[in-house]
Structure 1
Amino acid sequence: MLSTWTFMKRFARSPAAIGSIVPSSRFLVTRMLESVDWQTTDHIVELGAGTGVITAAIDAQRKPGSTFISFERDDDMRHELNARFPDVHTHHDAFLLPDVLANHDLNSVDCVISGLPFANFDNQQRHALFSDIHAALRPGGVFIAFQYTRLLQPYFLSVYGRYECKRVLINIPPALVYFCTKQ
């Protein structure tokens, strides 16, 4: 498994792509996944899997036979995810979400869980990805994302109508977890 030291080196090399100096804490992972109804969740997408901290928790909680698609841009991290989670479909580029879902014969998903550093993307990239996420969710589907800033709150409000935000202080840095449901 990739160490925290390796993660820190990757952050130093490309902070805009990695987004955090260390992997997510177990407290952040718990907060992100606590509201997912795993018994009714058949299709899950994870964006920005990193070292697999959230991936492992999703994989442990998802029901047998569910589809789990994960995206990670870093080649080394993605190869390790492939080795650790052979039943998870890993892909390179979250910006290809619609194409990947089509290749898996999925019209919609129940849940999108994101660790991507959206604040580091330019407005065009952010808008494109948010549009793809919203389009991918079934009605009643949930989008869960952690961020380190409130920058995205106007977007969540304009697209989802309402959202819930919870703080996770025991994380480096402290994080905000956004829960959005597609109407």
Structure 2
Amino acid sequence: MKTSEPLLFLQGFLRNPKRVGSLLPSSKLLAHKIVHSVRWDEVRTIAELGPGTGAVTRLMRAHLPKSATVFLFERDPKMRNNLKQTYPGFMFHSNASYLLKRINQEQIHSLDCIISGLPFFNFSREMRHNILSQIHTALRPGGTLVLYQYSLYMKKQLAELFEIEKIQFEPFNLPPVFVYVCRKRLDKGANKMSELGES
């Protein structure tokens, strides 16, 4: 018998609360807000970091062209295996800290979009820096980052690396959440990474 998604998510949280970050999967309202923030006509390569039980992934698949290359990075093995059964055409990896390595192995050298639900607040400074650096490098110039967090803690760091187009608040998610919609700058964004490492 297949485990229900809320129970699967709760089990993942209890196993590793710092990595999962929430007791419940993303709400449908949040998933719609995230998916509607992406310019899907520009997307041919995409990665989702921390898809959990696939609340966003379900809606994302409906907007993707058939030829799109999709990477899902999910650390929890039970949730990852559940996603593999549902999305056999996607590529799966366990650790977003190896984002660049994994996409390069598939001869993909840049992504059009990255969607992330990783709980950066719970990560060490080194891990935050490592993953943000890889996100920045992996995105093509003008590429989109949609990141949802439970506070505005990441605003300053994101503004140093990306153009923040908007921040939306979703009060009907549990817990309430902020959605950052960012775009990689076309010019001098690359040298900001060293400044972030020093801050």
Same fold at TM > 0.5: yes
Instruction: Decide whether the 8 Å contact of 2:149 with 2:177 is kept in 1.
Output: yes
Q: Deviations over 1:41-100 (max 9, x none)?
A: 100100001111111111121111000110001111111111110111111111000111
Does the 8 A contact of 1:51 with 1:81 survive in 2?
yes
Give the SS at the match of 2:40.
Answer: coil
Alpha-carbon separation, structure 2, partners of 1:174 and 1:61: 25
Map of 1:145 onto structure 2: 147
Partner of residue 136 from structure 1, selected from 135, 138, 152: 138
Q: Is 1:80 aligned to residue 82 of structure 2?
A: yes
Say which of 1, 6, 11 aligns to 1:9.
Answer: 11
Judge conservation of contact 1:2–1:51 (CA < 8 Å) in 2: no
Instruction: Specify the alignment match of 1:124 in structure 2.
Output: 126
Distance 1:8 1:94 in 2: 21
Alignment gaps of 5+ in structure 2: 186-199
- Fraction of identical pairs, as percent: 36
Could you say what secondary structure the match of 1:39 adopts? helix
Contact 1:2–1:77 under 8 Å retained in 2: no
Shift, 1:157, TM fit: 1.1
Aligned partner of residue 162 in structure 1, secondary structure: strand
Query: Residue 98 of structure 1 aligns to which amino acid in structure 2?
Result: L
Q: Size of the alignment, in residue pairs?
A: 183
Deviation at 1:153, TM superposition (A): 0.5
Shift of 1:2: 4.1
Structure 1 segments of 4+ aligned residues over 4 angstroms from their partners: none
Q: Please list, as runs of the form range in 1=range in 2, the aligned pairs for 1:1-183 lying within 5 A after superposition.
A: 2-3=3-4, 4-183=6-185
RMSD (Å) for aligned C-alpha atoms:
1.1
Q: TM-score, normalised by structure 1?
A: 0.96
Normalization by structure 2: what TM-score?
0.89
Measured at CA, do residues 2 and 130 of structure 1 come closer, stay the same or move farther in structure 2, by a change above 3 Å?
farther
Cα distance in 2 for partners of 1:62, 1:74 equals: 25
